[in-house]
Copies of this chain bind each other. A is one copy, B any other.
Amino acid sequence: MKKIKIIVSIALLTFVGLSCKQTSPESTQDIGKSDESIISDPLPSWNEGTTKENIVRFVETVTKEGSPGFVPVKDRIATFDNDGNLWSERPLYFQLAFAIDRVKAMADQHPEWSTKQPFKGVLEDDMAEVLKTGMHGILELVMASHAGMTAEEFDTVVANWLSTAKHPRFNRPYNELIYQPMLELLDYLRANDFQTFIVSGGGIDFMRTWATEAYNIPSYQIVGSSIKTSFEYNDGEAVIRRLPEMDFIDDNAGKPVGIHKHIGKKPIFASGNSDGDLQMLQYADSNQYPSFMLYLHHTDSEREWAYDRDSHIGRLDQGLDEAKVKGWTVIDMKNDWKTIYPFQMNN
C-alpha cells in the first residue's frame, strides 16, 4: 500500500508551477477522424519515415496469413495509455483540472473548506499551500471530487464539466485535445481486426464518460485506476455508490496487472508516453507472438509541448533508454506528426 501511495503521490503532487501559454490557435469546429473509405493512406496525419514504416510493416506482418509472424485475430490486443498518449496532459492532467474545478463548484456546500487545507488552497488558487498538505491532502481532494455519489451522478458531473470547462491554452473543451494521428492509428488497427484498449493511470469512470465517443472504444475496453464502489438496493432503486477509498492504481507495474485482470491476454501492441507505461511495454515485449512497442516522445514545443527526462508530468527517462536498447519505436511528435489535434485539420 505504501508503494501505491507513493505512485499516486508522484502523479498528483506535480500539478503546480507548470507554464501555460494562453495562445489560441486557428481552428475549425470539426472533430475529425480518418475516413478510410476515401483515403487510401490509413495514417494520413503521419509523415513518411521510419516510425510510420515500422507501424505499417508490423501490422502487415501479423495479419498476413501463412507468414511466420501471423497472429490470430483473437490475440490481436492493442493497449494504449491515455494521458499524454491519446490526449494532452499539460499544463496539468486534465482529470486533476476536473478535481480542482469540482472542489470549487462544491465549495458552497462546504463552508468549512474556506479555512481548511488543502481546500482553502484550491479555492484561493494557492497551490503551494495545497502541496504542503502532502499526500494526505491530495487524496482528500480526489475523494471529495470523485466519491460520495452514485455512478450515474458522477457521470453527469463529468459530462457537465466537459461541456463547460475550457483548456487554458487552446480555449477548447478538454476532450477536443485528442491526437489526430492516434485516432488514425486506432482506426487502422481496428480495420486490421485488432481490439483496442485504453490502459491508463487515469480514473476508469472518468474516462468512460467521454472516451468511448472520442476514440470509438467501448466502456468495457477501458481500463484505469478506480475507487471502491458498493451496490445499494432500495425498493427497486439499484445504484452503484462511489466510496472514498482507492481500489486499484493502474500505473507502472499496475498496468500489466490491470491488463491481466480486465483483458486476460498479453498485448501484441502497446503504446505509451512515460515511464509509467514501461512495464506495459515490457509485458507486450515478452509476448511469444511478434509484438510492437511504441513510445510517444513529446518533442514539439510549438504545436504541443516538449518534455521528457526532467518532467514532473509524463516523465520519460528510463523508457527512452530502454526503447533505444530494445529497438522499440519512438514517435518524434515534431517530425512524425503532420497534425496534432482534429480541430487543426483542413477539411
From B195, B240, B279, contact of A231 by CB (8 A): B279
Q: How far is the CA of A264 from the CA of B218 in the complex (A)?
A: 9
Q: Which residues of B contact A286 (CB under 8 A)?
A: 236-239
A21 CB-CB contact with B under 8 Å = no
Instruction: Identify which of A54-62, A186-194, A222-230 touches chain B.
Output: A222-230
A282 CB-CB contact with B under 8 Å = yes
Q: Which residues of B contact A205 (CB under 8 A)?
A: 264
Interface string of A16-55 (1 = CB under 8 A from B): 0000000000000000000000000000000000000000
Cβ–Cβ contact A262 & B262, under 8 A = yes
Contacting residues of chain A (205-247) with chain B, CB-CB under 8 angstroms: 205, 208, 212, 218-222, 226, 229-231, 233, 236-240
Q: How far is the CA of A212 from the CA of B264 in the complex (A)?
A: 11
A204 CB-CB contact with B under 8 Å = yes
Q: How far is the CA of A197 from the CA of B226 in the complex (A)?
A: 21
A261 CB-CB contact with B under 8 Å = yes
Instruction: Identify which of A105-113, A133-141, A252-260, A304-312 touches chain B.
Output: A252-260
In the assembled complex, how far is the CB of residue A254 from the closest CB belonging to chain B, in whole angstroms? 8
Cβ–Cβ contact A283 & B231, under 8 A = yes
Cβ–Cβ contact A257 & B230, under 8 A = yes
Beyond A220-B262, A233-B279, whether A256 also contacts B285 by CB under 8 A is no
Given contacts A233-B282, A238-B279, 16 further A-B contacts (CB under 8 A): A204-B264, A208-B264, A219-B265, A220-B220, A220-B221, A220-B263, A220-B264, A229-B260, A230-B253, A231-B253, A231-B254, A231-B279, A231-B283, A238-B283, A240-B257, A240-B260
Which 6 pairs across A and B sit closest by C-beta, in order of nearness?
Answer: A219-B264, A238-B286, A231-B253, A231-B256, A220-B263, A240-B260
Beyond A220-B195, A283-B231, A286-B237, whether A260 also contacts B74 by CB under 8 A is no
Beyond A233-B279, A233-B282, A282-B233, whether A238 also contacts B256 by CB under 8 A is yes
Q: How far is the CA of A285 from the CA of B237 in the complex (A)?
A: 9
